[in-house]
Chains A and B, each alone.
Chain A
Amino acid sequence: MKRLPGLIALFSVMLIFLGCSFPSQERQRENVLTASELQTMLRGENPPRVIYTGSLLEWRDVHIPHSRCVPCDAPEEAIRLLAEDRKTTLVLYGNGSLARETCPVLAKLNREGKPPLYALSGGLAAWKRSGFTTVSEERIPRLAVPGISMETLRAYTKKGKAPLILDIRSALTVRTRPIPNALNIPMTRLHEYYGDIPLDRSVIVVDEDGTRDLLAASYLLRKGVSVTARLRGGGVTLFPAKAEGGSR
């Protein structure tokens, strides 16, 4: 019994050592569907309503057949309309996987006593990877707009007449990680507010992760905006987070 406190102390030290090694587990919170499951549901008797949560521009560029576009930052009214029909299953998808933190539509539908609600795992990319067909209402031909690094962007901004940084990230992201002196027009509103961009300045487009900026830049070039570059990797490179896949 005399040795018990010593053994407990030793055991505690061992547990502290071990505690440092255990990775944290992420909880799965949404009902998710794979692309194949969605395809099966669409072919069934009661097909779900498929909602794309990205921007209208992207939806017109390419989308899953029979899907509609309700952007993540859609007004409350649009979301309430979605939630009205509680019998029809809703399947939401974005360009990649959706998360409540980044998609208010998903969070609001969950909060409002949703209809049966699913998110498409991997989003449109997973659908395409599975080889299923897509539809283009009005595809925007991509134009040659070079991607530049963060260092080059900084070098540009130090020059005399700095280019205008057009931040097309969502308002939610911009609130938490703003880019100084940037003009923010979220991708979901770009087709409405592109007129606010001055035509006499060269523009550098910055998106979340470098997957939507070429589309935005090509669209703006066709509208007469002199887009000169895109930030390679998007805003993620400006606000780096801890990368996954490390040793701890």
Chain B
Amino acid sequence: MKKGIFTQILCIIFMTGLLFVTLAWAESGEEGPGEGDFRCQNCHRGEPFEAAFFRSVHGNNGCLSCHQGITSREKHMTGEEKPQRLSCGACHGDISGRYEKSYHAVYQNITCQDCHRNIHDLRKKEGDTRGNAIRTCMGCHSYAEYAALGHTGKFLKGNRDAASCSDCHGIHDMPAYDPASPRDRAARRISSTEKCRSCHDNPALAKRNHLSASVIERYGETYHGKVYNVGYPELVAGCADCHTGHNILPPEDRRSALAPVHLAERCAQCHQGFHPRFARYIGHPDYSTPKQSPTLFITNIFMIALLAGTFLFFWVHSLLWWRKVYSLTCRERRGYLKPRAIIPECDVGRQVQRFTLVERGMHVVLILSFFTLVMTGFPLKYHDTAWAKVLIGFFGGADMAGIFHRIAAAVLIGLFLYTFWLSLRFLFPGWKASGWLGRLLGPDSLCPNLKDLQDIKGMFLWFFNRGDMPQFDRWTYWEKFDFFAVFWGMTVIGGSGLTLWFPEAASYVFPGWIVNVAALVHSEEAFLAAIFIFTVHFFNNHLVPNKFPLEDNVFTGRYSVEALREERPLEYERLVREGRLEEMKRPAPGMITQFLSSAFGLSSLLLGLFLTGLIFWAVIFY
């Protein structure tokens, strides 16, 4: 009973209190912000603020959840109090955070409501987001120029493999690149190119849509692709630079960015001063089939044959030579062979001059420029490897490496021209032609002759224990090959290099695809030159067991009479017969000369072998 009375008293006190509060509120004429929800519609009548709003995706929210900052209806009605700036991010924080830094927000000050129009009647859209995004984008972007063409056009026709606007640009996170910033320009190029790659590198997608699956790989074969892949996209053209962003149509379509009428215009975005035929450059060269370009195909076959033939002959030659000399050395040590006669040193402290100071200097310059060319060029050839990026970074980036490459190339071209000049002076002393043929085919000439063929045959017979080692004169056949290989290499690599260096100028003589040919030839010939020198030349002159680890007469300029008599007996006999041996004798090189020669020679040897290792690593594993 007592408990019931107590409850009744409490109820009376509560009801009285509630009445007082209600009366006091009504008296003051103030209303709280929470009450405005229903009453907003008293003034903001009609659609979309009534039924449409309550049906919308935001219908469960009150007006004040978005239109914040109104604390009093009276103040709002008199204009004293205005709602704060809308902040969709209050609820959609993640999207808003990304959008605030996107292109549309940063550069165009476009806010949520500009795309999500009729916000009070916003409904959840039927269909997929990608298709809806296209319809929204077309509000500001021309349907005819964006959606009806290329990828989006295919998408709208039902191909869900094709890209819609949002697949490439994103929806709320379209990056805001600063066109004045090189870093942003690079980021933009990377972004667009990677977007293209994400689909065009997909074999299944390519097969479904009858596209070439190797288009990305073939881009990587070009100078553009190599520099891009080695990490310097700001320096070269990415996908969108040529294909543009939206006019991606077959080249036969006049609206395509790659239609013949537009091609030169695309090239002119980066290149200047070219002939219109420059635009016949092939952006995705395919060397494996004659369908695209018979010239490229034939060039590729020729280069493969040249490389295979050269390496097959000389690697077999070197292997057999090594086996022969090694076997002789072992048999000699075990006493099966009579030791070679020790020729008494007849002229202690004096050696024979083989190379002049200028010739030695030329060889040093050749070595330095060649290493520079290899170290700045091969990172582009093997752009996928980790060492390529390290090496190109060592030179200060692709642009600086390019400058080093060109300096070294110019030095080598100078050396080539100077050697050519010396050759002419050798053939025509005092510019007199008489006897030039004798000099050309004579023993002091580097021109191959009939005896070289006999020497090759003799060497192979010696390798197989069918005869003695041939007797050589001043130049052996492999030294003559080295010399002419440099001449051939300089003509081919130099010519193709100059074409790549000045592609626009080359277009006044050749069509644009000559750049593709030049790129292929330059790359393959460089491989041939580098690997030939680092394996065959190194073996013939330094690594063959009786010369290992270094034959330094090309640096010191001199070697002993004994070595002359053993290695080049015909020359020795000729010099003795002509009475010239004595006048060719010089003091043996001093300690500093010997030390510098050995240090430079061994360093070059080791560097060359190290680079060979890197190149073979790339060939095998990439």
> What residues on B are CB-neighbors of A215 within 8 Å?
108-109
CA distance A81 to B311 in the complex (A): 80
Mostly helix, strand, loop or mixed at chain B's interface? helix
A20-B502 contact in complex given A97-B180, A147-B140, C-beta closer than 8 Å: yes
Interface residue range, chain A: 35 or more
Contact A128 B270 (CB under 8 A): no
A152-B145 contact in complex given A129-B176, A245-B185, A245-B234, C-beta closer than 8 Å: yes
A128-B410 contact in complex given A122-B180, A211-B107, A244-B185, C-beta closer than 8 Å: no
> What residues on A are CB-neighbors of B144 within 8 Å?
152
A145-B272 contact in complex given A125-B178, A128-B105, A245-B234, C-beta closer than 8 Å: no
> What residues on B are CB-neighbors of A240 within 8 Å?
268
Q: From B140, B269, B402, give the contact of A144 (CB < 8 A).
A: B140
Q: From B101, B140, B270, give the contact of A243 (CB < 8 A).
A: B270
Q: From B105, B178, B270, B410, give the contact of A14 (CB < 8 A).
A: B410
Interface residue range, chain B: 35 or more
Q: Does B411 contact A (CB under 8 A)?
A: yes
Nearest Cβ on chain A to B149's Cβ, whole angstroms? 11
Q: From B106, B108, B110, B403, give the contact of A21 (CB < 8 A).
A: B403
Closest partner residue, chain B, to A218 (CB atom): B114
Q: Does B383 contact A (CB under 8 A)?
A: no
Nearest Cβ on chain B to A219's Cβ, whole angstroms? 12
Contacting residues of chain A (113-159) with chain B, CB-CB under 8 angstroms: 122, 125-126, 128-129, 131, 136, 139, 141-142, 144-149, 152
Q: Hey, what's the 0/1 contact readout for A233-248 against B, CB within 8 Å counting as 1?
A: 0000000101111111
Closest partner residue, chain A, to B267 (CB atom): A246
CA distance A126 to B183 in the complex (A): 14
Q: Does B206 contact A (CB under 8 A)?
A: no
Q: Does A62 contact B (CB under 8 A)?
A: yes
Q: Does A70 contact B (CB under 8 A)?
A: no
CA distance A62 to B223 in the complex (A): 44
Q: Hey, what's the 0/1 contact readout for A218-232 against B, CB within 8 Å counting as 1?
A: 000000000001001
CA distance A231 to B109 in the complex (A): 18
Contact A95 B402 (CB under 8 A): no
Contacting residues of chain B (61-119) with chain A, CB-CB under 8 angstroms: 85, 100-101, 105-111, 113-114
Q: Which of B413-421, B581-589, B597-605 contacts A (4 or more CB under 8 A)?
A: B413-421
Contact B101 A129 (CB under 8 A): yes
Nearest Cβ on chain A to B231's Cβ, whole angstroms? 15
Q: From B101, B142, B406, give the contact of A146 (CB < 8 A).
A: B142
A18-B407 contact in complex given A125-B106, A243-B269, C-beta closer than 8 Å: yes
> What residues on A are CB-neighbors of B100 within 8 Å?
128, 131
Q: From A23, A131, A152, A246, give the contact of B271 (CB < 8 A).
A: A246
Mostly helix, strand, loop or mixed at chain A's interface? loop
Q: Does B236 contact A (CB under 8 A)?
A: yes
Q: From A17, A232, A243, A244, give the contact of B142 (CB < 8 A).
A: A232
Contact B411 A247 (CB under 8 A): no
A149-B139 contact in complex given A18-B406, A62-B109, C-beta closer than 8 Å: no
Contact B141 A147 (CB under 8 A): yes
Which interface residue of A11, A211, A243, A245 has the most chain B CB atoms within 10 A? A245
Nearest Cβ on chain B to A99's Cβ, whole angstroms? 9
CA distance A232 to B227 in the complex (A): 31
Contacting residues of chain B (485-529) with chain A, CB-CB under 8 angstroms: 501-502
Contact B270 A125 (CB under 8 A): no
Q: Does A96 contact B (CB under 8 A)?
A: yes
Contact A247 B142 (CB under 8 A): no
CA distance A146 to B272 in the complex (A): 33
Q: Hey, what's the 0/1 contact readout for B188-211 against A, CB within 8 Å counting as 1?
A: 010000000000000000000000
Q: Does A10 contact B (CB under 8 A)?
A: yes
Nearest Cβ on chain B to A37's Cβ, whole angstroms? 17
Q: Does B611 contact A (CB under 8 A)?
A: no
CA distance A243 to B188 in the complex (A): 14
Which interface residue of B108, B185, B502 has the most chain A CB atoms within 10 A? B108
Nearest Cβ on chain A to B447's Cβ, whole angstroms? 24
> What residues on A are CB-neighbors of B234 within 8 Å?
245
CA distance A126 to B101 in the complex (A): 10
Q: Does B143 contact A (CB under 8 A)?
A: yes
Nearest Cβ on chain A to B207's Cβ, whole angstroms? 33
A141-B406 contact in complex given A20-B502, A128-B106, C-beta closer than 8 Å: no
Closest partner residue, chain B, to A122 (CB atom): B178
Q: Does B30 contact A (CB under 8 A)?
A: no
Nearest Cβ on chain A to B86's Cβ, whole angstroms? 10
Contact B109 A139 (CB under 8 A): yes
Closest partner residue, chain A, to B140 (CB atom): A144
CA distance A236 to B159 in the complex (A): 35
Identify the A interface with B (CB < 8 A).
6, 10-11, 13-14, 17-18, 20-23, 61-62, 95-97, 122, 125-126, 128-129, 131, 136, 139, 141-142, 144-149, 152, 211, 214-215, 229, 232, 240, 242-248
Q: List 22 A-B contacts (CB under 8 A).
A: A11-B414, A14-B411, A14-B414, A18-B407, A20-B502, A21-B501, A96-B179, A125-B107, A125-B176, A125-B178, A129-B178, A131-B101, A142-B114, A146-B143, A148-B145, A214-B110, A232-B142, A232-B145, A245-B235, A247-B223, A247-B235, A247-B271
The 8 A-B residue pairs with the shortest CB-CB distance, nearest first, are A246-B270, A14-B410, A144-B139, A142-B114, A146-B142, A243-B269, A128-B106, A62-B109
Q: Other CB < 8 Å A-B pairs besides A10-B414, A23-B399, A242-B272, 17 of them? A: A10-B418, A14-B410, A18-B407, A96-B180, A97-B178, A97-B180, A125-B106, A125-B107, A128-B106, A129-B106, A129-B176, A142-B114, A146-B141, A149-B142, A211-B107, A215-B108, A243-B269
